[in-house]
Amino acid sequence: MVSSTKSKSHPGRRPLVVGNWKMNGTRASSVALLAALRAEEPFGSEVSVCCPYPYLADVVLSLQGSGISWGAQDCSHLDPGAHTGDVAAVMLTEFGCRYVIVGHSERRVHHAESDQRVADKARMALAHGLTPIVCVGETLDERVAMLTESIVKRQLSAVVHTLGHCVSQIVVAYEPIWAIGSGLTATPEQAQAVHSVLRAQLAAASTLAGEMRLLYGGSVTAANAHALFAQPDIDGGLVGGASLKANEFSAICRAATGAALESPGKLKT
């Protein structure tokens, strides 16, 4: 088991806040949002936005030269070829993406993505130099049935087995499905309990687990971010709805910095 207190101060765990725009916005609103976000820099924490594919070119123009990186919300598990409607990981690299979200619950549910499919997407992302943000999380029924731990461990297990020791190169996002877009947020203690389980699972696969960043996602707001990010195994957030408002998202990014400053050493990288 990894010592959370010790690992939290590891210089590799600079806080990370990622905006997941989902299928929202227009070209014009996206550019306006990013201009407003740039005006709020610097944040201290690492900040990234994962936009819809069609807006990537505009996002590149809006963010190049800034401290904010960008990414996508999914990629194919396959190489380029006859796969209508899919987007290959290598294509994302042409747009300078740093991150790609894989296994978001909306894709697991609406596109029937299995644990192994998510793991194969993570592998493809890594093969092309992208950092996959692998989402795991349980439904409300599963939580009530006290299945949270077994569900998230099963989801992460496929990724661990597929990536082997390379699993240390991913970011994991714990996103309880019942908290996504619902206004319900896991308490800091509930979120920390799951993050601790996930870090222990990663520690069994990699000696670098203490350096990995584990994000919380699910109705994060400026009001609840600090308490969540102050937990020993929570290294930032994956933010949906609140990432569409520049001042709210900026406040969340600053909350990650503030929480880290209370944990000496976290902002060294």
CA 255 and chain centroid, separation: 16
Interaction between residue 176 and ligand PEP (CB under 6 A): no
Non-local (6+) Cβ contacts of 157 within 8 A are 115, 201
Residue nearest to ligand PEP (CB): 240
CB of 200 closer than 8 Å to CB of 1: yes
Comparing CB distances to ligand PEP, the nearer of 190 and 219 is: 219
CB-CB contact of 234 with 241 (8 Å) = no
In whole angstroms, the minimum distance from the beta carbon of 8 to ligand PEP comes to 22
Q: Which among 36, 31, 38 is positioned nearest to 56, based on CA atoms?
A: 31
Is 175 annotated in the active site? yes
Catalytic residue among 10, 77, 104, 195: 104
74 interacts with ligand PEP by CB under 6 A:
no
Please list every residue from 38 through 57 that binds ligand PEP, using CB under 6 A: none
- CA 185 vs CA 188, 241, 250: distances in Å: 9, 13, 19
> Min. distance of Cβ 24 from ligand PEP in angstroms?
10
Using CB under 6 A as the binding rule, whether residue 240 contacts ligand PEP is answered as yes
Tell me, yes or no, if 104 is annotated catalytic: yes
Q: Interface mask (CB under 6 A) for ligand PEP, residues 184-223, using x and -?
A: ---------------------------------xxxx---
- Structural tokens at position 57: 């070119």
Quote the CA–CA distance of 235 and 18 in Å, as a whole number.
11
Binding stretches for ligand PEP (CB under 6 A):
20, 175, 180-181, 217-220, 238-242
Catalytic residues: 104, 175
